[in-house]
Copies of this chain bind each other. A is one copy, B any other.
Amino acid sequence: MPNFADRLIEAARLHGPLCVGIDPHAGRIPALFGGDTAEGVQAWGLEVIRLAGEVGVASVKPQVGLFERLGPDGMSALQVVCRAAREAGLVTILDAKRGDIGSTAEGYARAYLADDAPFPCDALTVNPYMGLDTLEPFVRLAKETGRGIAVLAMTSNPGSADFQAKDMGGAPLYARVVTALGPLIGRLQGASGWSSLMLVAGATGPEEARALRALAPKALFLVPGYGAQGAGADDALAGFVRAGNRLEGGVVNASRSVTLPGGAAEADTLEQWREIVGAAMNEAKRDLAGAAGATA
């Protein structure tokens, strides 16, 4: 199997850079699916995946915390959703933002990146605060299993200004993190030239995204902040690079705006819901693919 980066860039070339976030926010799961229970979340997540497969998107990104809030049953729902996404051939990035020292990091890596992982995904988001040795178990297993990690660099929330954007000896912390990641990015480089070590690079900071691209030419970007968080397609693609007649270099996540759009909560039937959510997904897909110059 090609490595994660090669699979993701191929999917983005085919479908444009939309990544559909699967974020079961409390109280937002339509009654149609059973509402805000583990069963409801699972049924909703499976339909989001079916629709994402039909629309054709680069990737899906389940948000672990919003499953975890429902306890062990929520984690079972996450497991079912992860398996279904990969069976549907969707490149699955699990948003867990894990990070811990050696043996515990190995535990998290095995939970998500092993071939027999209970929560199988293609890539996992991780937090770099504790240092490079805490990323090593994830990198090692990702290399072995053809999977990837997405390291938080510059996130899209206002608080990213508190530490990530602060100067650390002549460059912001996020730039220090990305520079330090250089050797790991190299180790996970695939046949496409892109690395399976992604960077989370918030769409609310296009200048930062361009700075990150200069520091890490081979890292695919996972861009949050598009849609509900306010950034437009051009800002979201600020860190992408020209490849022939289009832009490439990662995926752009949209969650609430495409999976919980206005009217979806009140849909009476699955058909109505599929129409509303499918339209929102298609619109985001076209918007991003258009801005990237893709024909999808």
Interface size on A, residues (CB 8 A): 60
Contacts of A159 in B (CB 8 A): 130-134
Q: Which residue of B lies closest to A256 (CB)?
A: B103
The residues of B that contact A166 with a CB separation of less than 8 Å are: 168-169, 176
A157 / chain B contacts, CB cutoff of 8 Å: 101-102, 130-131, 133-134
Could you tell me if A118 and B152 are in contact, using CB atoms closer than 8 angstroms?
no
> Which residues on the B side are within 8 Å of A177 (C-beta)?
163
Q: Nearest-CB distance from A22 to chain B (Å)?
A: 12
In the assembled complex, which residues on chain B have CB atoms less than 8 Å from the CB atom of A183?
Answer: none
Whether the pair A26, B129 counts as a contact (CB closer than 8 A) is: no
- Complex contacts, A106 vs chain B, CB 8 Å: 26, 69
Interface string of A61-89 (1 = CB under 8 A from B): 00101101111111110010000000000
Verify B118–A65 contact, CB threshold 8 A. no
A75 proximity list for chain B (CB < 8 A): 71-72, 75
- Beta-carbon contact of A152 and B129 below 8 Å: yes
Knowing A72-B72, A108-B68, say if A167 contacts B169 (CB, 8 Å): yes
| 8 A Cβ contacts from A94-127 to B | 95, 97-108, 110-111, 118-119, 127
Q: Is A189 an interface residue (CB 8 A)?
A: no
Q: Which A33-86 residues have C-beta < 8 A from chain B?
A: 63, 65-66, 68-76, 79
Q: Are A69 and B107 in contact (CB under 8 A)?
A: yes
Partner of A25, one of B103, B128, B133: B103
A145 within 8 A of B: no
Are A71's CB and B160's CB within 8 A?
no
Whether the pair A104, B66 counts as a contact (CB closer than 8 A) is yes
> Are B72 and A130 closer than 8 Å at their CB atoms?
no
A3 interface hit (Cβ, 8 Å): no
Given contacts A131-B160, A133-B159, A166-B168, contact A79 B71 (CB under 8 A): yes
A155 CB within 8 Å of chain B: yes
Q: Which residue of B lies closest to A110 (CB)?
A: B69
- Check B162 against A131 for contact (C-beta < 8 Å): yes
- Which residues of chain B have C-beta atoms less than 8 A from A68's C-beta? 107-108, 111
Q: In this assembly, does A180 line the interface, its C-beta being within 8 Å of a C-beta of chain B? A: yes
B158 touches A65 (CB 8 A): no
